[in-house]
Structure 1
Amino acid sequence: MHITAGPGISRAFILGAGLGTRLRPLTRVLPKPLIPFFHEPLVLHSMRRCYDCGIREFIINTHHLAEAWDQVFPERSWNGCPVHFSHEPVLLDSGGGVKKIEPLASAEEPLLVINGDMAATFDLHRVMEDHLRHRPAVPLALRSSGDKRNVGFDFSA
């Protein structure tokens, strides 16, 4: 499989392989990103945010209950965009999942890596614009308020 992209950031790698242990017993029947959230799988919230920012191709890593993804994406597409799966027979964790899809990535074409099990409200468009403007090696969007106040995001870098 070869993935091509247009200008800007047009591909996203969605982290979907986790075990979702904190949501058991729900995750005994569905992977955490496929748990319904406002009447649709949680992963679709992340995908919609990506789509609104120009993402037109998705790669999702799978592990736990991988066959459940076929029910959500039987045509391997969503909203007219291809959806590829990178199955991990042995859970590789976040960094390992990204390493596994390295042959699909390109230094010339940025790849957005985003969790598939969150309903975040940060300004993803702004993060992507900032990345394209400043070209840091790896921009991170992290929480800067709430219970865990030990991280932040600096748009001025």
Structure 2
Amino acid sequence: MIFGRRKEKETQALIMAAGYGTRLEPLTTAVPKPMMPIVNKPCMLHNLELLKRYGIKRVTCNIHYHPEQIENYFMDGEKFGVSLSYSYEEKLLGTAGGVKKMGEGIDRTFIVLSSDALTDINLSKMLAFHKEKGVLATMALCEVSDVTQFGVVVLDEKSGRVTAFQEKPKQEEALSRLVNTGIYIFEPEILDMIPEGKPYDFGKELFPLLAAEGRALYGYKMLGYWSDVGTIKTYLEANRDAMLGKVGVHIPGSRISSANWIGRNSKISKTAEFKGSVLIGDHTVIEDEVEIKNSVIGDRVVVSRGSKILDSVIWSDSIILSSSQIKESVVGSWCYIGKGSKVSFSALANRTRV
């Protein structure tokens, strides 16, 4: 059932937010991947802000895993400047099946976006490319060095038409370094090609079929930033890239230097030392002789005397007692890190005690 459905009047976006994010466990055991914070904001919020920047404010989102967390945070979207409705999937319908359900009633060109990837793609340029080609479907493509976790796309370089697909090939067998980003522009006729009420996938089923039949499926080589944020390593990288300005997203807090931000009502000791890029959330306490390097610290966190946070991300409401060291790790919300503890190259789920 889709609730909050409105009459179609302007460009609409469909956001895919129903998946499990299993590669990011244990962080996603209690948190849906779209709600994982990147620079202290849910990843899905960055994507809503991207759509809003391009004047796209009518959004439908499919939900399944911990749906209440997404609904309770975003509500109807008004707080974030968009109009948001939801499509609940009792059983996962796959990427195409989910879009089929969300797209009921759409009668014009629409955009599909993943909620849990980080990007600053120029949607105006992609829309212009799609309209210039006059095609049924356009997918945004990004060139990557390691293709083994992605759907590889082969293009006719002259026309831009997609000619073949490979799903997660071995590196040495890849026919291209261009991968499917999960960002699409479709004409409404695409919905008629998707079976109703059953799991169906774009990358594994619909797109290979369209390519094999020579249908109008084109690839748009994006120039901006894109990360699927699919592993702990890429999650940490995405946070660093945001602070370094490699991706155009809004970072909360007051910018006190070229790469340091501090949130509201936080208390920072004069003897604390920041190195590289550092973001401190709201109502957070950083005590004496703390060292923080290339890290994000969430809201309402306490980092006690003499502790070191290096190349890490600390989610909200966690306590780190004195003389602890956290290195290249992600610490979930409501965690308790005991005095003198050392956490390295780890991901701690919410409410972990060390």
Q: TM-score range by the shorter chain?
A: 0.7 to 0.9
Query: Which residue of 2 is the match for residue 5 of structure 1?
Result: 9
* Structure 2 contact 15–115 (Cα < 8 Å) conserved: yes
| Deviation, structure 1 residue 78 | 4.5
Q: Provide the residue aligned with 2:135 in structure 1.
A: 136
Structure 1 residue 56, shift from structure 2 partner: 1.3
Look up the match of 2:18: 17
Deviation sequence 1:64-97 (CA, Å, 0-9, x none): 0011112211344343321000000101110110
Matches of 1:2 and 1:100, distance apart in 2: 15
RMSD value over aligned CA atoms?
Answer: 1.9
CA contact (8 A) 2:8 2:106 kept: no
Q: For residue 55 of structure 1, report the CA deviation from its aligned partner.
A: 0.5
Kindly tell me the number of residue pairs found equivalent between the two proteins.
150
Give distance in 2, aligned partners of 1:41 and 1:94: 21
**Larger Rg belongs to:** 2
What does the per-residue CA deviation read over 1:35-68, in whole Å, with 9 as the maximum and x for residues that have no partner?
1111100001111111111201110000000111
Contact 1:19/1:27, CA 8 A, preserved across alignment: yes
1:80 aligns with 2:81: yes
Gaps of 5+ in 2: 148-176, 181-218, 222-354
Q: Distance in 2 between matches of 1:63 and 1:91?
A: 7
Amino acid at match of 1:115: S
Give the helix-richer structure, 1 or 2: 1
Within 2, Cα distance between the matches of 1:117 and 1:28? 15
Amino acid at match of 2:63: T
CA distance in structure 2 between the aligned counterparts of 1:38 and 1:66, rounded to whole angstroms: 22
The TM-score with structure 2 as length reference comes to 0.40
My pick for the range that moved more, 76-85 or 30-39, is 76-85
Instruction: Give the whole-Å Cα distance in 1 for the aligned partners of 2:81 and 2:50.
Output: 15
Q: Which runs of 4+ in 1 moved over 4 A?
A: none
Question: What pairs with 1:63-78 in structure 2 (closer than 5 Å)?
Answer: 63-78=64-79
The residue correspondences of 1:120-131 to structure 2 (distance < 5 A) are 120-131=119-130
Q: Is the 8 A contact 1:59 1:83 kept in 2?
A: yes
SS at match of 1:141: strand
Residue 117 of structure 2 is aligned to residue 118 of structure 1: yes
Whichever residue aligns with residue 46 of structure 1, its letter is N
Q: Which runs of 5+ in 1 are unaligned?
A: none
The one-character-per-residue Cα deviations of 1:110-157 (angstroms, maximum 9, x if unpaired) are 1100100011243322112212333310000022233221448446xx
Aligned-partner residue type, residue 136 of structure 2: A
Greater length-normalized contact order (CA 8 Å, ≥ 6 residues apart)? 1
> Helix, strand or coil: the match of 1:83?
strand
Provide the C-alpha distance between the structure 2 equivalents of 1:78 and 1:115, rounded to a whole number of angstroms.
Answer: 21
Task: Evaluate the alpha carbon distance shift between residue 81 and residue 123 of structure 1 in structure 2; reply closer, same or farther with a 3 A threshold.
Answer: closer
What's the % identity of the aligned pairs? Answer: 29
Range with greater deviation from structure 2 (131-140 or 14-23): 131-140
Counterpart contact for 1:2–1:104, Cα < 8 Å: no
8 Å contact from structure 2 (residues 138, 220) kept in 1: no
